[in-house]
Amino acid sequence: MGIITQNNLKNTIKRENYIKSYKNVFDLLVYNVKNEIRVSKVKGKTFKVKNFIGIRYYNFIEINSKNRTNFIVLDFDKILNKTFREVYRTIKEFKRFIDTYLDDYNIIVQTDKGYQVYILFNNSFFHNNKNDKKILEHLKNSFIEKIPGIDPISTNRKYGMFRNPLQHNHYVNSLEGVNLSIFYEYFNFNGTGLNKTNEIYYTDLTKNIEQKNNIKILDIDNYKEISKEVYFNKKYELIKEGNRNIIFWIIGMYQIKKYVKNEFVMYNNLYSYLVQLNSKIRDPIEIEEIEHITSNCVRYTMNNKNFIILHNKKDRKQINKDYYNKHRGEKMTRKENMVKLNKQKADNTKKKVLSVITGMFANEYKKKNGEWNISKISKDIGVSRNSVYKYLQQL
> What single string gives the DSSP state of each residue in 250-288?
HHHHHHGGGS-S-HHHHHHHHHHHHHHHHHHSSSPPPHH
Beta bridge partners of 366: 372
Q: Give me the chain's average pLDDT, please.
A: 76
* Per-residue model confidence (pLDDT) at position 232: 83
* Per-residue model confidence (pLDDT) at position 221: 64
pLDDT tens digits along 63-110? 888 888 889 899 998 888 888 998 898 998 999 999 888 888 899 999
Nearest to 67 by CA among 135, 107, 19, 124: 124
Single pTM value for the model: 0.53
Stated as kind and residue range, the H or E segment containing 27 is helix 6-30
pLDDT tens digits along 215-246? 333 456 677 788 888 888 888 888 887 778 88
pLDDT of residue 4 exceeding 50, the answer is: no
Residue by residue, DSSP assigns 199-229 as: ---HHHHHHH-----SSPPP-HHHHHHHHHH
Report the C-alpha gap between 240 and 173 in whole angstroms. Answer: 33
* Per-residue model confidence (pLDDT) at position 234: 85
Is the separation of the CB atoms in 215 and 141 below 8 Å? yes
- Indicate the burial class of 143 (C-beta count within 10 angstroms; 0-12, 13-18, 19 or more): buried
* Per-residue model confidence (pLDDT) at position 211: 34
Report the C-alpha gap between 103 and 174 in whole angstroms. Answer: 10
Stated as kind and residue range, the H or E segment containing 82 is strand 82-83
pLDDT of residue 178 exceeding 70, the answer is: yes
pLDDT of residue 290 exceeding 60, the answer is: yes
Beta strands 78-79; 82-83: pairing state: antiparallel
pLDDT of residue 261 exceeding 90, the answer is: no
CB count in 10 Å sphere of residue 173: 17
